[in-house]
Amino acid sequence: MDEIDQIQTSAEAAEAAAMPHARVVHSDPDAPRSPEQQPLPAALARKPVDQKSPAEWAYERLILYIKNFEEQLDSEHEIAMGFTGSSTGALRIEGMGFFDPDIVTFYGSDDSGTKTQLVQHVSQLNVMLRALPKQVPEREPTRIGFRLVDDLESNGDT
């Protein structure tokens, strides 16, 4: 093997190590495309995965899932998250963030409108996205996923 082949192979190996891998199978062949089936947005691909903290990488992928979920909602529902393994109820997602190296935060309100915040370590991350009826029927539904994606795209590096 000559030197050029070794350099190309090393570069390909480094690229492969930095690229995310994803797979999904749906029982319905006509199911809407999910984040695993879509190309990674340019804003997320700018920084190699191996240079991101667990919190940053979890935050970015959660944004993809939230946006995808909201794209499938009708105009009468908004996104919320349920707490897996808990009877706490749901948190209407009004904001999301991360704190390196390992904390993801969710801001919002519960079913009764009480201000709620979840601070979670990435190793404990379990998020169940839910569709809840809008709080104010006459108002347009709130779509946090689109704001999160806009923020990623405008700020470049998170």
DSSP 25-38: --SSTTSPPPGGGS
- Domain-embedded: residue 132: yes
Distance between CA atoms of residues 24 and 4, nearest Å: 36
- What confidence tens digit (pLDDT) does each residue in 1-44 have? 555 555 556 655 555 555 567 888 988 989 999 999 888 888 88
Position 73 in a domain: yes
* Exposed / middle / buried, residue 63 (Cβ in 10 Å: 0-12, 13-18, 19+): buried
Asked whether residue 141 is domain-assigned, the answer is yes
Output the pLDDT for position 7.
Answer: 54
Closest CA to 65 of 111, 24, 101: 24
40 assigned to some structural domain: no
CA torsion, ordered 127, 128, 134, 135, to nearest 10 deg: -60
Q: How many domains does the chain have?
A: 1
Residue 142 falls inside a structural domain: yes
Residue 59: CB atoms within 10 Å: 23
Q: Which two tokens stand for residue 123?
A: 């190793």
Under-50 pLDDT residues of the chain = 158
In a domain, 152, yes or no: yes
pLDDT of residue 18: 52
Tell me the pTM.
0.79
* 30 in a structural domain: no
Structural domain harbouring 154: 51-158
